[in-house]
Structures are given as structure tokens and as C-alpha cells.
Structure 1
Amino acid sequence: MKDRNARYLFEGISADVVRYLVERDGMELTEAISTFHNSETFSKLEDFSTGLYIESPAYVYDLLLSEMKNGRLVP
């Protein structure tokens, strides 16, 4: 997949995950952005070699919730 397409998917997933944190978890927007952008999940999503950008936003959100619960990503 071309980097432009991967970047588009990455940005869409990122926006959706932040929206989920606000709507489902009651976070303020700035807190949701900071939480996601400072997570290992975000780092994996941003690394296109992981292929995480082709997963659904709900899947990435669930990964983030797991990371938040466990303090790290659990394979």
C-alpha cells in the first residue's frame, strides 16, 4: 500500500480512537488526544510496518484499552 493511503487510514483510525475515548470513556478531548498519542498503541499504529493501520478503529481502541488496563501492550 502506498504511504499516502496508509497515512489516510492512520489519520482516520486516530480520529476515531480519540472520539471513542471522549464518547465512551468520558475523557476531555485534550486528555483523550494525550492518552492516545503517548501510548504504545499509537506508536505501533504509526509504524506502518506493523500493519496495524489496516485494522478497524474498534480493534485499535480495544488494544489501547488493554494497554491502559495492563500498563503495556500484551501480545
Structure 2
Amino acid sequence: MTKQDQLMEFCVQDIIERIVKEHNIDYDEAMNLFYSSQTFAKLNDIETGLYLESSDYVYTLFQDELNFGKIIQTEI
């Protein structure tokens, strides 16, 4: 397992746990929700460098995607 894979895996674990807690859904549903998102696709794309960001930052992008139907990066 590469360092990038490890960083992504830790980030995904944190986000899934947060989805379960904040949305009051079961673990499988949270996994399906996140794994089918654009945020997850970008997290897995090494070119984006998103795997280097904190899980809090990535979760914020995911929340924006849920709320607005797309990822919003306000700092750009």
C-alpha cells in the first residue's frame, strides 16, 4: 500500500464515521453515499492532490456536494 493509499483510506474512514454521526444513518448507507459522490472520485484522483488535505476539509466539500449538488471550493 502506498502512502497516498494510506492517506486516502484514513480520510475515508474519518468521513464515513462523521456521516454516520451527523446524518444519523447506518454505516453501509454512509459508505454508499460517500463512495458514489464526486468528492470520493476526486479524492481517489491522485492528480487533484485532495488526498493531502484534512478529512475535515474533504468532508466540507462532500457536504457542499450534498447541499448544492456540486463541489464548491470557496478559496478559489
What is aligned with 1:21?
Answer: 19
* Residue-by-residue CA offset, 1:56-75 (whole Å, 9 max, x unaligned): 01111110000000011124
What is aligned with 1:62?
Answer: 60
Distance 1:49 1:26 in 2: 33
**Root mean square deviation, CA, Å:** 1.2
Distance 2:60 2:72 in 1: 11
Distance 2:58 2:2 in 1: 20
Structure 2 alignment gaps of length 5 or more = none
Distance 2:47 2:33 in 1: 23
Q: Does 1:8 align with 2:6?
A: yes
Distance 2:9 2:23 in 1: 20
* Residue-by-residue CA offset, 1:40-64 (whole Å, 9 max, x unaligned): 0000000011000010011111100
Q: Which of structure 1's runs of 4+ aligned residues deviate more than 6 A?
A: none
Q: Which amino acid aligns with 1:21?
A: I
Q: Does 1:44 align with 2:42?
A: yes
Equivalent pairs counted in the alignment come to 73
Distance 1:49 1:8 in 2: 16
Q: How far did residue 24 of structure 1 move?
A: 1.8
- Percent identity reads 34
Q: How far did residue 27 of structure 1 move?
A: 1.5
